Structure 1
Amino acid sequence: MTDIRCGEDPEPAERFPAGLLLVPGRPGPSGWAVRIFRTPLGDRTAVGFTSVRRLTATLGPGQAWFRLAEPALRALTEPLGVTTVTVDPQFTAPAARRVQPAAAMLAQRVG
């Protein structure tokens, strides 16, 4: 085993190069669009994951993603007013359910 001298970085053990994040998004006609999330306090944040396992554990296997360096993610979302990047969030709220308007619910009960 060799000693690592001060100033030398070991090779990353991760599959993806250091600094690259897996960013949730969706493909569109002009390329990929970044998904913006909210923190528990309601602030907007960009999100990146360090592994596919962590991304799918949090957002599910159907979530599309692309690779992007953290500085590029910040530069991409800053014009949108998003100044925070959250890496590997573990908790998410359940997806919102569609709620029927009261008039439609009343019509179902009457019919």
Structure 2
Amino acid sequence: MFPSDPLPPGLLLVPVRQGPTGCVARLFRTPLGLRTVVGFTSEHRLIAALGPAQRWIVLAEPALRALTAPLGAVAVTVDPRWTAPPFRDHRPAPTPVAALS
């Protein structure tokens, strides 16, 4: 599959992570703190949101809902565009104790 290839209707690219027994769908949180699973309609959109290293699988939306409902995911978010930037700690590095003497 290429980033420009259209996905058949009803199928989504679902971000996954490696679990102890294989791929596990990644769960996210909505701005209100509810668990959601995300799906993308194209590889280009997935890469734009989560980066090129993100692994994914193709699932139909009903299968995705059935898979994640027992985990507390109350929604499927399709093609999320806005993501928070990676966390960067801008606090100054602590001064070593030996330098204080």
- TM-score normalised by length of structure 2: 0.79
Task: Give 1:69's aligned residue.
Answer: 60
* Superposition misfits of 4+ residues, deviation over 2 angstroms: 94-99, 108-111
Larger Rg: 1
Structure richer in strand, relative to its length: 2
The residue correspondences of 1:1-111 to structure 2 (distance < 5 A) are 15-97=6-88, 105=94, 108-111=96-99
Amino acid at match of 1:54: R
Q: Distance in 2 between matches of 1:87 and 1:109?
A: 50
Q: Distance in 2 between matches of 1:96 and 1:32?
A: 25
Q: Distance in 1 between matches of 2:61 and 2:33?
A: 22
For the structure 1 residues 110 and 44, does the alpha-carbon distance in structure 2 shift closer, same or farther, using more than 3 Å as the test? farther
CA contact (8 A) 2:10 2:61 kept: yes
Higher relative contact order (CA 8 A, sep 6+): 2
CA RMSD of aligned residues (A): 2.3
List gaps (5 residues or longer) in structure 2.
none
CA contact (8 A) 2:34 2:74 kept: no
